[in-house]
C-alpha cells in the first residue's frame, strides 16, 4: 500500500499511538523524517523518544504486549502492514544502541554477522573493510581483526557497532543515545562520524543531550509526556530554529534548562 508522501521523506508518521499493554506510551505523533539529514529526537527521560525510535524498525515487536495504532510509512509503504516482515525491515534500517553491544566474537565476525545471515555471497572481507573504513575504525583495528571485540575501548566498540550496522547497507540508521556510555573524546569522534555518515544515510538520533542535538542535527523534534505519562510531540523543526527561536514555551523551558 503506497501512500502519497514526498520523495524527500524516508519516514512519515501519522497519528501514531503506542501501547505497552494498557499503558499508552505515545499518543498522536505526526512526524516526517527527511532523507540524508540528521533528525534528532530530544526530550526529558521517559518521554518515549526511544520507544518512537524503535517503532521505525519494529524492535518494539519483541516486547510482549506492545501495540501500535496509526501509520508509520517507510518510503511510502506501511511498516506495519500484515505482509511486511520485521526481519526485512530491520535489515534495511540499521540501529545503534545506547551501550555498545558487540557480540562476543572477533572484530571481523561482528561486522560480517549481518551480511552473512542475510546471505551475502560476495567477498565478505571487502565488505568488512569498507564498513570499518566508513566507521573510521579501520586504521585502528586492521591488524587485529581476529581479536575479540571486547579488547576494544568503549568508543571503539561503539564505532564497531556502527560498522556492523553499515555492513548490511541500510537506507536509514537509527541511533539510540549512542554516546551516553562514552567519554567526551569518544563522543566527539562518534559525532564527527555521524555528520560524515549523514552524507549518505538518513539518521534518526535520540539524545538526552541538548548540546549534542544542537551540534549535530539538522532537524529536531521535542517530545514530552503528559499527566498520564504518555509521550507526545511538542514541536518539530529546523534545529537552528528550535534552539534559537522555539515556538512553544515548554520547548524553550526545556532547552534553557528550566525543565527536566
- C-beta pairs of 100-103 under 8 Å, 24+ apart in sequence: 100/154, 100/157, 100/158, 100/160, 100/161, 100/181, 101/161, 102/149, 102/150, 102/152, 102/157, 102/160, 102/161, 102/164, 103/149
Distance, CA of 78 to CA of 97 (rounded, Å):
24
Beta carbon nearer to another protein, 6 or 63:
63
Beta carbon nearer to another protein, 24 or 164:
164
256: phi then psi, degrees, rounded to nearest 5: -90, 5
Beta carbon nearer to another protein, 115 or 246:
115
Q: What is the largest CA-CA distance in the chain?
A: 54
Q: How far is the CB of 91 from another protein (least distance, A)?
A: 3
Q: How far is the CB of 69 from another protein (least distance, A)?
A: 23
Q: How far is the CB of 113 from another protein (least distance, A)?
A: 6
| Residues in contact with another protein by the rule CB under 8 A | 57, 59, 62, 85, 87-92, 94-95, 97, 99, 101-105, 113-115, 117-122, 150, 161, 164-165, 168-169, 171
Beta carbon nearer to another protein, 7 or 104:
104
Q: How far is the CB of 260 from another protein (least distance, A)?
A: 25
Q: Which residues face 77 on adjacent strands?
A: 2, 74
Q: How far is the CB of 96 from another protein (least distance, A)?
A: 8
Beta carbon nearer to another protein, 145 or 168:
168
| DSSP H stretches of helix in the chain | 49-55, 86-92, 107-117, 124-134, 138-141, 154-166, 184-197, 210-216, 239-244, 249-255
Amino acid at each position: 500500500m503506497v501512500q502519497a508522501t514526498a520523495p524527500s521523506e524516508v519516514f512519515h508518521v501519522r497519528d501514531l499511538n503506542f501501547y505497552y499493554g494498557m499503558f499508552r506510551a505515545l499518543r498522536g505523533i505526526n512526524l516526517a523524517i527527511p532523507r540524508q539529514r540528521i533528525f534528532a529526537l530530544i526530550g526529558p527521560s521517559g518521554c518515549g523518544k526511544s520507544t518512537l525510535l524503535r517503532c521505525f524498525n519494529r524492535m518494539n515487536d519483541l516486547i510482549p504486549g506492545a501495540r501500535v495504532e496509526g501509520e508509520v510509512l517507510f518510503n511510502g509503504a506501511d511498516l506495519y502492514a500484515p505482509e511486511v516482515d520485521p526481519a526485512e525491515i530491520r535489515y534495511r534500517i540499521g540501529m545503534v544502541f545506547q551501550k555498545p553491544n558487540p557480540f562476543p566474537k572477533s572484530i571481523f565476525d561482528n561486522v560480517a554477522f549481518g551480511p552473512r545471515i542475510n546471505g551475502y555471497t560476495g567477498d565478505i572481507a571487502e565488505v568488512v573493510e569498507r564498513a570499518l573504513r566508513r566507521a573510521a575504525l579501520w586504521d585502528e583495528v586492521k591488524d587485529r581483526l581476529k581479536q575479540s571485540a571486547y579488547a576494544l575501548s568503549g568508543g571503539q566498540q561503539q564505532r564497531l557497532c556502527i560498522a556492523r550496522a553499515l555492513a548490511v547497507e541500510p537506507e536509514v540508521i537509527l541511533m539510540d543515545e549512542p554516546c551516553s556510555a562514552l567519554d567526551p573524546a569518544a563522543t566527539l569522534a562518534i559525532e564527527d562520524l555521524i555528520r560524515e555518515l549523514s552524507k549518505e544515510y538518513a539518521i534518526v538520533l535520540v539524545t538526552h543531550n541538548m548540546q549534542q542535538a544542537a551540534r549535530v542535527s539538522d532537524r529536531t523534534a521535542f517530545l514530552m509526556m503528559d499527566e498520564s505519562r504518555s509521550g507526545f510531540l511538542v514541536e518539530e523543526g529546523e534545529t537552528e530554529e528550535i534552539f534559537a527561536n522555539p515556538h512553544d514555551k515548554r520547548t524553550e523551558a526545556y532547552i534553557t534548562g528550566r525543565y527536566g
